[in-house]
Amino acid sequence: DTGVSQNPRHKITKRGQNVTFRCDPISEHNRLYWYRQTLGQGPEFLTYFQNEAQLEKSRLLSDRFSAERPKGSFSTLEIQRTEQGDSAMYLCASSAVLGTEAFFGQGTRLTVV
Amino acid sequence: DQQVKQNSPSLSVQEGRISILNCDYTNSMFDYFLWYKKYPAEGPTFLISISSIKDKNEDGRFTVFLNKSAKHLSLHIVPSQPGDSAVYFCAANGYGGATNKLIFGTGTLLAVQP
């Protein structure tokens, strides 16, 4: 499978715990995006990387959120001290630098109880 | 403030007929627009896009129309098939498609009845 892969698919955590999600983009894609989708809403942009450089962060990404893309390959999104409001689907997408189409993974559904 | 709006939460059409999904935007800086389709438990899948220098783009059964003066775009699916049943998201950005930092609408659930 050469698509965007996200792990885990589902995560249930207790409030206050830290969680980390992983995204493996399509191998030749330089750009990697994180989005968050809550019920009844469209995906909301969180951050994106070109290779290992994090080029932009949304103001939705509070200090409890951090994303990394070491070596410009896979990426991780960590949420510290989770809150119930963090419950959402976290989507990763990748694209070529000159590509106008982003390919999305299946997402990680986070439930904070 | 919702910059991309899809005012119809759902749409039901008969198989073989035309499906028309609508999208309005408020930001005049947007110059690239996309439609994504999403099945349950899957990520969004790119469908078709249009640059603001065009007013129509066609790909098989899918056609997107852009009316810049009205800040409105629509997706036409002809003929509609049961496999088209999904949530359709309109998205936009102001980078001419050079990046996929996108602003999405809230989606329209299309149900195609056999």
**Using one digit for the tens of pLDDT, what is the confidence trace for B74-97?**
999 999 999 999 999 999 988 777
Please state, in angstroms and rounded to a whole number, the distance separating the CA atoms of residues B49 and A26. 21
- What three-state secondary structure class fits A17? coil
**Which chain B residue's Cα is nearest to A95?**
B100
What mean pLDDT value characterizes chain B? 94
Q: List residues in chain B touching A: CB distance below 8 A.
A: 4, 32, 34, 36, 41-46, 49, 89, 91, 97-107
CB within 8 A of A76, min separation 6: which ones?
Answer: A20, A21, A22, A23, A67, A68, A69
Give the mutation candidate from B5, B10, B33, B101 for the A interface (greatest A CB count, under 10 A).
Answer: B101
Q: CB distance B44–A48 less than 8 Å?
A: no
Question: How distant is the Cα of B64 from the closest Cα of chain A, in angstroms?
Answer: 16
- Tens digit of each residue's pLDDT (9 = 90 or more) over A69-101: 998 899 999 999 999 999 999 999 999 876 668
